[in-house]
Amino acid sequence: MKKGKFIVIEGLDGSGKGTQAALLADLMKQEGRSVCMTAEPTNSVTGGLLRDALGGFVCRDAYEMSALFLLDRIFHNTNPINGIRQYLEKGTDVICDRYYYSSFAYQGIDADLQWVMDMNLNCREVLRPDVCIFLDISPEVGDRRISDNRLEREIYEDQRTQQRIRQRFYEVFDLLKDRENIQIVDASRTVKEVSADIYKIYQNIKEQ
């Protein structure tokens, strides 16, 4: 059985990751592909701890957050019932909203970046994606979208922090450019235009 494709959708808050992941999944299913949509943090106990921290209900520093995200990510990959590895080995494609790139960019602005990268990239249980698609927007665009769609914000969702995170994403992509397939898409355009570009990227990897 041919292994499924592992596709990660990344971006700043407000970049449209969830919307674009769902649109891509629909297009893939129309081709007859079996597709699983997932996200981080997961619905595990550790994921709940992370969501509490992201919502500002519990204070955790960047090192603790990094370690918790790795723990959640290992579970995400290895869970024998609905883990990423299980789906891929069954031939199901996996689309994941956020992955270790977010740990590098978000926690990596306050924790030691090399430490965060090493513990993820050197963990054998953490699978490498076939492609990371980064939906690029300015922090100003993201801020407007968040204001238009939500009443409450998470701890990283202010413009100054988002600017630091965007810069860190690009630093990380430069470090990984020879090791990983990272594709950057201008997500400030219409939903339809962005979706079309993402589908082209998927077309380029699906037979590899």
List the end-to-end C-alpha distance of the chain, in Å, as a whole number: 14
pTM of the model: 0.94
Contacts of 142 (CB under 8 A, 6+ apart): 12, 13, 14, 15, 162
- CA–CA gap between residue 180 and residue 13 (Å, rounded): 23
Which pLDDT score is estimated for 205?
A: 94
Mean pLDDT of 192-200: 98
Give the E-state strand segments of 6-150 in sequence order. Answer: 6-11, 35-39, 93-97, 131-136
- Which tens digits make up the pLDDT trace of 131-173? 999 999 999 998 898 888 877 888 888 899 999 999 999 999 9
Phi, psi of 35 (to 5 degrees): -130, 135
Superfamily of domain 6-205: P-loop containing nucleotide triphosphate hydrolases (3.40.50.300)
Higher pLDDT, 34 or 142: 34
With H, G, I as helix, E, B as strand and everything else as coil, classify residue 107.
helix
Q: Are 207 and 7 in contact (CB under 8 A)?
A: no
- CA–CA gap between residue 106 and residue 13 (Å, rounded): 11
- Which tens digits make up the pLDDT trace of 57-98? 999 999 999 999 999 999 999 999 999 999 999 999 999 999
Which pLDDT score is estimated for 75?
A: 98
Q: How many CB atoms lie within 10 A of CB 29?
A: 12
The greatest distance separating any two alpha carbons of the chain, rounded to the nearest whole angstrom, comes to 47
Which pLDDT score is estimated for 148?
A: 83
- CA–CA gap between residue 138 and residue 32 (Å, rounded): 35
